[in-house]
Structure 1
Amino acid sequence: MGHTAQRREAAAVVRTDYAAPMPVQLDHPVVDGDGHIVESLPIVIDYIRRVAGSDVADRFAGSSPAFASRRAPLLTEHRHRPAPGNPITPWWALPADTLDRATGLLPQLLYERLDEIGIDFTVLYSSVGLACIGQVDDAIRHGACRGLNTYLAEMLDGFGDRMTAAAVIPTHTPDEAIAELDHVVKDLGFKAVMLNSFIARPLPERGEGAQWLDVLALDSIYDYDPVWARCVELGLAVTVHSPSQGLGLRASSSRYMFNHIGNFAASSDAFAKAVFFGGVGYRFPTLNFAFLECGVSWGVQLLCDLVDRWHKRGGANIERLDPKRLDSDEWDRLLVRYGGDRFADAAVRRATLGQSDNPPDDVDDFRACGVTTPADIVGQFGRFFFGCEADDATIAWAYADRVNPLGATLQPMLGSDIGHWDVPDMRDVLPEAFELVEHELLSLAQFREFSCDNAIRLHGGMNPHFFDGTRVEAYANALLGRADVPA
């Protein structure tokens, strides 16, 4: 889908006075489920120093040349040079317009511009948070997350009627996750969080640098059920935004876009499958999950695949594939008759018959999910929300009820991504999103769900007071069916 707004020249640093108008007046608010705040790294490091001490702050600053931003020459010295096995990191990842660049940095400026941008309420996610929750060193990780969360709480203080920040939650162990969840909610007043959805853990027995990816909800070395339970207790949706750039087949040393495209979808797909197959969605049926900046097309594919696999391998269906059902005498007859001398040896026939006969103790991969019918699978997807950018035409696939299993529709959610390079002009987000309606890909009712209702359901479904005191409070209360407030 093409951009409707007139774009600036690449070298421009001052915005033009033109912005694409909305073709209609919406009869509902716009709730942005995934905007961004761009932190000042020198100030964040000062916050880390304040809460965790100089040693932790200095080691965090030294963990990447980009973090040592007080020393600009260091960045030039470390300019990336392609080398096999050295994945390129993001570059020029922020808008080149002065006003938009400053807007992503300064919550007060964003607050003043929200009406111009067309957003009534936004949930802002950290930019440097991904680097904080991914630190291998325990002290650096804990100190960086706590310092950043303090920074976010103080930067957004006083703007709660139009915006809120999501705290960053490290998840290397359940204990550290629970400790930070309690701290950000009870001490700092957060009501939204972003959890790290996978951990790269070392495999020293396989050599230096060997690692495996722990997706927390399945096959983990820890039991993360206490984390999911604490999220329910605190009224927090589990939102994830973990990148997979630099891992596996997304490790180009020369092309940032090679590594970037699809990376959030890949990590979200892995975590969603872990939540499903690990039985987390079954054991915690009231817990909402959001997968951010990844679109919804992979979610549609995952739902279709799960239903298809269940029909063939789920529950009692797996018994149809049991090799015990084979007739060994008929097998021998067929191989001798049609295989010729190659299969004259009975030992060869037996060995061939035994191929793929290596099942685990439990042959039902779906057992922990509590799934007995395809409807159970679709039902668990009712707690999944998918952050989508404004120019993503595949949002329409979420509503393809003639194709999706059992006529299912998924829950896409507007994630503006303002503050990052994906949005050259913040004023274009809403008109660009509305092209989905203009191109007859979404109805007005579906656009309302995408641009407003689903974000409210995600957070308000966990905490009915999430939107109290905000511009969208009355609308949210009506949508959520709050019985404790007057109609």
Structure 2
Amino acid sequence: MNARLTPAQASRSLAVKAGLDYPVIDTDVHVNDYNPALEEYVQQYGGGELVDALRKVLGSRFNTRSNGKDWYQQTQEERRYYRTLRSPWWARVTRNTLDLATYTLPELLAERLSEQGADYSVLFPNDVLAPLGAGKHRQALHRAINHFHADLYGKYSDRLTPVAGIPLHTPEEGIEELEFAVKTLGLKVINIAGGVRRPVPAVADKYPPAHHPDVARYAHYTDFYGIDSDYDYDPFWAKVVELGVPVTTHYGSQGWTGRHSVSNYMFNHIGHFADGSEAFAKALFFGGVTKRFPGLRVALLEGGADWGANVFTHLIDRWEKRNRVAVQNYNPANADLDLLENLFQRYGQDFIKGRKLDKNTLLLDSLGVSAFPHSREPNAEELDDFALAGIESPEDIKKQWADSFYFGAESDDRTVAVAFNEKLNPLGVKTKAIWSSDIGHWDVPDLTEPLAESWDLVEQGVISEDDFKALVFGNPYRFYTEANPNFFAGTTIEKKLSLDKKAA
């Protein structure tokens, strides 16, 4: 379908929507920025220098360059020599030209929501976090792009809302841009990167990044804000909760050691959002962020929902085995050396072969040197990995993981069934999967299909009708309104729920 033939085209999703008695909320729609309009706006906002910064970051986002060449310019030998990451290609919809225009023209997108089957959509412009690579222009460019999107989509705020991209190299810049986005621009959802790359101090001291950029490129670690950070991000999270802002991220791990193929994009891509988001979410959990800020709501998008249930299960399993009391099961000081010696005498004669047993070294001899790698015994406060999170029971894990985090599930993702499997998940929990169509990206060649694809899972018995309702309405509605009870004020969602209430 490459031309606009009628005011509204029929679609499978439209047929599904007609059978629902509740609205549909799409938590993840990707839109394009029409570049001449964006550059003109940025020019007026910050002059030619800011436009140059914009062009630089947009032109380098997926072009990993070594020796002055990107992946496509390099020979296979050069790619291996420089370990040049295979980046994506053809990542946007083009053959379906109607959809291409839809993701670029706000009026057309607003008009076509009915064909998609959605009542309300949260928009993630594809370049909203591009300014993170803009160096000294990072904050100014973020502000300009957020302002552009607020102006561009403000007319359609009853159906569409764009996210604000927030830089978090420091908590202070995050707070400044958060307050401007919410208080001045009226934006109400933020998108952040799940981590910030920082230099390893021991390497940076020896090889200052300014003089050794190639060393700095590889010798870094990722600060996930919640644990092991040199910065205190609590003021930022406090401001997020104060302003009632839902936090979202599409945090990927392409380029990490295990996802750094120099030849295959799919190798790097599959599962990378889940891995990146898992690291970010675990940092907030183990750092006690979700304990200190129980009102914080975070959506982890494009990684599926099954990994959230998987981590929840393992958090409980590990806590039960390694909480501060249970971990004493593995304390060498608790071994009964008399019993151990007796058992060796009774059952070990075949391989003792006359050796004299030394009770003072028997434990070390039995476990092996690898069981005693430490230079000293741990202090009491070092034994409990769950201490900062304040975990005293499995219910605490539920509150600080399953209640705080929402997991974006794309329409054709059958693994969403794991999130809804209350028999499988501990405490009978259904982790909160939210419908994220991901339209605008290469994995959705037709925007009219995602809702129908999710309904296919009902017809195939993968999820129930109640699960489907939770996926496309209940959980998304809770995510936004738990952060901000007035999130849907003045929108089609409020109007539809009001009409349904009157009808009832």
| Matching residue's letter, 1:20 | R
Matched to 1:88, the amino acid is R
- My pick for the range that moved more, 380-389 or 348-357, is 348-357
Q: CA deviation at 1:18?
A: 7.2
Q: What is the aligned partner in structure 2 of residue 106 from structure 1?
A: 105
* Residues in 2 aligned to 1:66 and 1:279: alpha-carbon distance in whole angstroms: 36
CA distance in 2, matches of 1:478, 1:357: 67
Gaps of 5+ in 1: 1-7
Aligned residue number for residue 3 of structure 1: none
- The aligned counterpart of 1:5 is none
Provide the rounded CA distance (Å) in 2 between the counterparts of 1:102 and 1:75: 32
Could you say what the CA RMSD is over the residues aligned between the two structures, in angstroms?
A: 3.1
Distance in 2 (CA, whole Å) between partners of 1:76 and 1:214 is: 27
Describe the shift of the 1:345–1:152 C-alpha distance in structure 2 as closer, same or farther (beyond 3 A).
farther
Q: Does 1:118 align with 2:110?
A: no
Aligned residue runs from structure 1 range 369-408, under 5 A: 369-380=389-400, 381-408=402-429
Q: Which amino acid in the other structure matches residue 130 of structure 2?
A: A
Residues of 2 paired with 1:203 and 1:312: CA distance? Answer: 33
Deviations 1:264-283 (A, max 9, x none): 10111111111111111111
Q: Give the direction of change, closer, same or farther, for the CA distance of 1:151–1:79 in structure 2 (3 Å limit).
A: farther
Using the TM superposition, give the Cα deviation of residue 313 of structure 1 relative to its aligned residue in structure 2, in angstroms: 0.4
Which deviations, in whole Å up to 9, do the C-alpha atoms of 1:197-254 show, x marking residues without a partner?
1011112533513000111111111111111100001001121112211222111222
What pairs up with 1:30-429 in 2 under 5 angstroms? 30-63=24-57, 65=59, 83-84=79-80, 85-96=83-94, 97-133=96-132, 135=133, 137=135, 139-203=136-200, 205-206=202-203, 208-209=215-216, 210-331=219-340, 337=348, 340=352, 349=362, 351-352=364-365, 355-356=371-372, 358=374, 359=378, 361-380=381-400, 381-429=402-450
Distance 1:335 1:168, change over 3 A: farther
Query: SS at 1:156's partner residue?
Result: helix
* CA apart distance, 1:67: 7.2
Deviation at 1:286, TM superposition (A): 1.4
What amino acid maps onto 1:252 in structure 2? S
Q: Aligned pair count?
A: 466
Cα deviation 1:304-355 (Å, max 9, x = unaligned): 1001001100232222222210134444566684654798695865655562
Instruction: Give the AA of the match of 2:433.
Output: P
> Once the two structures are superposed, what CA deviation does each residue of 1:456-477 show, in whole Å capped at 9, x if it has no partner?
1111111111101111114567
Secondary structure of the equivalent of 1:367?
A: coil
Instruction: Return the alpha-carbon distance in structure 2 between the equivalents of residues 473 and 121 of structure 1.
Output: 10
Distance 1:343 1:435, change over 3 A: farther
Larger Rg: 2
Deviates further, 15-24 or 322-331: 15-24
Matched letter for residue 142 of structure 1:
Q
Relative distance call for 1:154 and 1:48 in structure 2 (3 A) is: same
Contact 1:456 / 1:476 at 8 angstroms: preserved in 2?
no
**Cα distance, 1:48 vs structure 2:** 3.5
- List alignment gaps of at least 5 residues for structure 2: 208-214
Residues 427-438 of structure 1 aligned to structure 2 (within 5 Å) = 427-438=448-459
1:140 deviation in Å? 2.5
Q: Which amino acid aligns with 1:235?
A: G
3-state SS, counterpart of residue 35 of structure 1: strand
Greater shift, 248-257 or 173-182, is seen at: 248-257
Equivalent residues of 1:41, 1:67 under 8 A apart: no
Query: Please, what TM-score do these two structures have when normalized by structure 1?
Result: 0.87
Percent of matched pairs sharing the same residue = 37
Tell me which stretches of 4 or more aligned residues in structure 1 moved more than 6 Å.
15-18, 74-78, 341-345
Is the contact between residue 264 and residue 294 of structure 1 (CA under 8 Å) also seen in structure 2? yes
- 1:349 to 1:294, Cα distance in 2 relative to 1, 3 A: same
Following the alignment from structure 2 to structure 1, what is the Cα–Cα distance between the partners of residues 61 and 372? Answer: 50
Aligned partner of 2:212 in structure 1 is: none
SS at match of 1:287: coil
**What amino acid is the match of 1:91?**
W
CA distance in 2, matches of 1:242, 1:107: 26
With over 3 angstroms needed to count, the CA separation of the structure-2 counterparts of 1:76 and 1:475, relative to structure 1, is same
> In the TM superposition, what is the alpha-carbon distance from 1:100 to its structure 2 partner?
0.4
Counterparts of 2:61 and 2:426 in 1: how far apart (Å)?
Answer: 46
Counterpart Cα distance in 1 of 2:445 and 2:75: 27
Q: Is the 8 A contact 2:191 2:249 kept in 1?
A: yes
Q: Sort the Cα spacing of 1:76 and 1:87 in 2 relative to 1 into closer, same or farther, 3 A.
A: closer
How far, CA to CA, are the matches of 1:221 and 1:94 in structure 2?
38
After TM superposition, the structure 1 stretch with the greater mean CA deviation from structure 2, 115-124 or 251-260, is 251-260
Match of 1:218, SS state, is coil
What's 1:451 paired with?
A: 472
Contact kept in structure 1, 2:301 and 2:436, CA below 8 Å: yes
Once residues 136 and 221 of structure 1 are traced to their aligned partners in structure 2, the CA distance between those partners, rounded to angstroms, is 22
For the Cα contact (< 8 Å) 1:467–1:476, is it kept in 2? no
Supply the distance in 2 between the matched residues of 1:342 and 1:43 (Cα, whole angstroms). Answer: 87
Query: CA separation in 2, counterparts of 1:29 and 1:267?
Result: 31
Amino acid at match of 2:23: P
Q: Which stretch has the larger CA shift, 200-209 or 372-381?
A: 200-209
Aligned counterparts of 1:260 and 1:213: Cα–Cα separation in 2: 19
Q: 1:155-207, CA deviations, whole angstroms, 9 ceiling, x for partnerless residues?
A: 10200010100100111110011011001011111011112210111125335
Q: Which moved more, 1:436-445 or 1:464-473?
A: 436-445
Contact conserved, 2:62 with 2:88, CA < 8 A, in 1? Answer: no
The aligned amino acid for 2:462 is: L
TM-score, length basis structure 2: 0.85
Provide, for residues 78-105 of structure 1, a one-character-per-residue CA deviation record: whole Å limited to 9, x for no partner: 6576512111222111112111011111
Could you tell me which residue of structure 2 aligns to residue 20 of structure 1? 12
